[in-house]
Amino acid sequence: MNQSNQILLAHGGGGTLMHTLIRETIASKLKNPILEKFDDSAILNVRRTAGRIAFTTDSYVVKPLFFRGGDIGRLAVSGTVNDLAMQGAKPVVISLSFIIEEGLPLANLQKIVLSIKRTAKEANVFVATGDVKVVQKGGADGLFVNTSGIGFIPKGVNVSSHNAKLGDAVIINGFIADHGISIMCEREGLKFQTQTRSDCAPLAGLVGAILGRIRNIHCMKDPTRGGIASALNEIAQNSEVSIEIDESEIPIREATFAACEMLGLDPLIVANEGKVIVACPAALAPDVVQTMRKHRYGKAAKIIGRVTGKGKPEVILKTAVGGSRIIDMPYGELLPRIC
């Protein structure tokens, strides 16, 4: 049998070569008894009685595959775990599907699989089922990853982007725009004195800590593509409310802000991959912020605004100099290959 340190088209053919790749390079690293059955689907035993399941999917096409603060594997696990967490679900299992371009160094795939393993462990989920496809050179930019996920929603939790209410405080768990800016710097070969790092992280633990203390969270949303501008507009539209944000309260690192200025980017539309926007009754907000700050992914948590009106979906930014402007949903975006 040929040995190869690159992925070959034949690795996707359904034969021995594929089975060896799946078993030795992927499954043996992620090992768990369900994945290792290698059946067409994973069988999960649901012991609880009736309840609510959250189900989500996301494909990841980030370029480069490795970047400061993460890689496509960490991103793929975090992104899907976070989509489940945003509904108040406890993430339980994920699926993992690779589309690999022939010629991808096997060592890169191995590094990514290890990163997936570490991130899944951190998020307390396991990879239950998977798939590998190989496409011809020029077909997939090295590697695309899809992760889908299932989580269970605890009784009494009712978190949704449709659920923000008049009087709610709006909170964020830390610095914005780090992910998009670091991908952009990486891709364009830009070097600043202080380099930014992606904030890419699974938020299941942080969200679990919040919901463990405070059940009455109305809304959570991760501001990924389109940044907090897009996420806040989605909340405003889905909940039919107007939201006011204080520019001076939005946490942003100096280096990230400087890079945005230099690149001519509005940090509000730059992607994040480890942030959550929370809307909850104002009286509970200090407790949410305190709970966030005790967690590694919430050290710079802050109240950044409030829900000020009903019926007219809009997002208003109170600027640092005392003015105000409407933040629109961005149209397209400047950084397409960031997630």
**Residues 16-35 contacting its own copies, CB under 8 A:** 16-19
Rounded Cα–Cα distance for residues 268 and 219 (Å): 19
**Structure token pair of residue 295:** 């967690």
Number of residues that bind its own copies (CB under 8 A): 94
Which is closer to its own copies, CB of 252 or CB of 269?
269
Task: List the one residue out of 339, 212, 210 whose CA is nearest residue 276.
Answer: 210
CB 118, min distance to its own copies, A: 21
CB 196, min distance to its own copies, A: 19
CB 227, min distance to its own copies, A: 8
The angle subtended at Cα 257 by Cα 253 and Cα 262, nearest 5°, is 150
CB 87, min distance to its own copies, A: 5
Rounded to 5 degrees, what are φ and ψ at 148? -115, 160
**Structure token pair of residue 137:** 């050179």
Which is closer to its own copies, CB of 180 or CB of 298?
180
CB 61, min distance to its own copies, A: 5
| Interacting residues with its own copies between 261 and 280 (CB under 8 A) | 269, 271
| Candidate segments 13-21, 64-72, 110-118, 249-257, binder of its own copies by CB under 8 A | 13-21
| Interacting residues with its own copies between 189 and 248 (CB under 8 A) | 221-222, 224-227, 230, 234, 238
CB 230, min distance to its own copies, A: 5
The angle subtended at Cα 264 by Cα 232 and Cα 338, nearest 5°, is 60
Which is closer to its own copies, CB of 42 or CB of 250?
42
**Structure token pair of residue 185:** 């710097």
| Candidate segments 124-132, 168-176, 188-196, 303-311, binder of its own copies by CB under 8 A | 124-132
For residues 310 to 339, the per-residue mask of contacts with its own copies, x marking binding by CB under 8 A and - elsewhere, is ------------------xxxxxxxxxx-x
Rounded Cα–Cα distance for residues 116 and 103 (Å): 21
Q: Is 63 exposed, middle or buried (0-12, 13-18, 19+ CB in 10 A)?
A: middle
Which residues make Cβ contacts (< 8 Å) with residue 203, sequence separation at least 6?
78, 81, 82, 85, 173, 222, 274, 276, 297
CB 216, min distance to its own copies, A: 18
| Interacting residues with its own copies between 82 and 111 (CB under 8 A) | 82-84, 86-87, 89, 93, 95-99
Which is closer to its own copies, CB of 87 or CB of 115?
87
Which is closer to its own copies, CB of 17 or CB of 255?
17
Size (the chain), residues: 339
Three-state secondary structure string covering 294-327:
CCCCCCCCEEEEEEEEECCCEEEEECCCCCEEEC
Q: What is the enclosing helix (H) or strand (E) of 113?
A: helix 106-123
How many angstroms separate the first and last alpha carbons of the chain?
36
CB 109, min distance to its own copies, A: 15
| Interacting residues with its own copies between 125 and 184 (CB under 8 A) | 128-131, 133-136, 138-141, 144, 146, 148-151, 153, 160-162
CB 322, min distance to its own copies, A: 28
- Is residue 202 classed as helix, strand or coil in its secondary structure? coil
For residues 41 to 80, the per-residue mask of contacts with its own copies, x marking binding by CB under 8 A and - elsewhere, is xxxxxxxxxxxxxxxxxxxxx-------------------
Rounded Cα–Cα distance for residues 259 and 193 (Å): 10
Which is closer to its own copies, CB of 99 or CB of 301?
99
